[in-house]
């Protein structure tokens, strides 16, 4: 099963990487026009001594930020390379003209770079930071995918989730809280695929860091389902789990659904009284197409209930 998941991941990644490389090489030169800037959005660079990485933070502020003294809930978004503009669009649309969710500060934790270099930085960064243990099969698949795009001698490293979690806890949080008006009680971690895998790692290793978790199509099958073992270990020493969790997958993601159901079954057996767990399987959606549907629904489930009349 694990090898099947790796093969699917490799195919999708190789296709994405190769197609973008071909497009970059074959598009004709075009007249330059003004670029697009996302309103109320800024970029900050934060050096992590823990990970030895310069992180590019994409930060979108609420409409009312400049005219209020309010402290705002914050969403920490993984994979902003592919998701930041989409999630910003959702948070903007769901707060005005009708406030379905509260205004939030959105912070994407990215790796910087433009064009193919940006894609490479993203690919290498997410494999390293989102996977909880070293996995040679994953590294080999990604190295093959990158080589198929025309890049050689690229070393893929996995298993950096412990350091990445420490970076969030001891470097990112203090930086954000000292520079922005953050509601430190209402913090959401948003991750999809490998990002969802990291979210599960955080949930069972330091759940109090966030009170809300969006786990879209999480790669629970990684390393023979090691995330299931994390839940078992947590339950042996904890009677409760205080968190709001939204976990989902697409109907066409057979292996992801299988592991998601296993995780839900385990969690249910341990009766965490303070845990709110919402799950959803999205009809006719695949791993590639499910993200927008899951993100929109997840925001409403995790935040929208607070504004129900």
Look at residue 250 in the predicted model and tell me its pLDDT. Answer: 97
Look at residue 19 in the predicted model and tell me its pLDDT. Answer: 44
Look at residue 306 in the predicted model and tell me its pLDDT. Answer: 56
Are 246 and 302 a contacting pair, CB within 8 Å?
Answer: yes
20: exposed, middle or buried (Cβ count in 10 Å: 0-12, 13-18, 19+): middle
Query: Is the model's pLDDT at 46 over the cut of 90?
Result: yes
Residue 76, H or E segment:
strand 72-77
Are 270 and 304 a contacting pair, CB within 8 Å?
Answer: no
Are 209 and 176 a contacting pair, CB within 8 Å?
Answer: no
Per-residue pLDDT of 66-81, as tens digits, reads 999 999 999 999 999 9
Look at residue 10 in the predicted model and tell me its pLDDT. Answer: 44
Per-residue pLDDT band at 304 (split at 50, 70, 90): confident
Report the mean per-residue pLDDT for the chain: 90
Per-residue pLDDT of 156-209, as tens digits, reads 999 999 999 999 999 999 999 999 999 999 999 999 999 999 999 999 999 999
Residue 28: alpha-carbon gap to chain centroid: 34
Q: Kindly report the pTM of this predicted structure.
A: 0.90
Are 112 and 126 a contacting pair, CB within 8 Å?
Answer: no
Q: What's the rounded mean pLDDT across residues 277-292?
A: 96
DSSP one-letter code for 172: I
**Token digits of residue 127:** 């494999």
More confident residue, 92 or 17: 92
Look at residue 51 in the predicted model and tell me its pLDDT. Answer: 97
pLDDT exceeding 90 applies to what percent of the chain?
80
The topology (CATH level 3) of 2-19+38-307 is Rossmann fold (3.40.50)
């Amino acid at each position: 099963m694990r090898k099947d998941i790796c093969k699917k991941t490799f195919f999708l990644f190789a296709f994405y990487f190769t197609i973008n490389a071909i497009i970059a090489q074959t598009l004709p030169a075009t007249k330059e026009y003004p670029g697009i800037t996302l309103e109320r959005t800024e970029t900050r660079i934060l050096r992590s001594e823990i990970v030895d990485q310069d992180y590019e933070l994409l930060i979108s502020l609420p409409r009312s930020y400049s005219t209020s003294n309010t402290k705002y809930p914050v969403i920490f978004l993984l994979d902003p390379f592919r998701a930041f503009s989409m999630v910003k669009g959702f948070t903007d649309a769901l707060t005005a003209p009708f406030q379905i969710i509260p205004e939030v500060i959105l912070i994407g934790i990215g790796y910087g770079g433009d064009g193919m270099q940006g894609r490479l930085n993203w690919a290498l960064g997410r494999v390293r930071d989102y996977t909880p243990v070293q996995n040679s099969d994953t590294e080999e698949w990604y190295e093959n995918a990158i080589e198929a795009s025309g890049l050689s001698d690229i070393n893929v490293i996995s298993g950096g989730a412990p350091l990445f979690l420490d970076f969030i806890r001891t470097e990112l949080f203090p930086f954000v809280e000292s520079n922005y008006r953050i509601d430190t009680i209402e913090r959401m971690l948003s991750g999809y695929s490998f990002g969802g895998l990291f979210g599960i790692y955080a949930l069972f290793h330091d759940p109090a860091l966030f009170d809300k978790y969006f786990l879209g199509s999480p790669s629970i099958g990684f390393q023979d389902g090691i995330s299931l073992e994390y839940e078992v270990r947590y339950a042996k020493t904890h009677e409760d789990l205080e968190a709001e969790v939204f976990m989902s997958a697409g109907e066409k993601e057979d292996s992801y659904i299988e592991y998601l159901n296993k995780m839900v079954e385990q969690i249910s057996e341990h009766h965490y009284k303070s845990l709110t767990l919402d799950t959803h399987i999205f009809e006719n959606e695949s791993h590639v197409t499910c993200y927008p549907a899951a993100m929109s629904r997840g925001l409403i489930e995790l935040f929208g209930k607070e504004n129900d009349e």
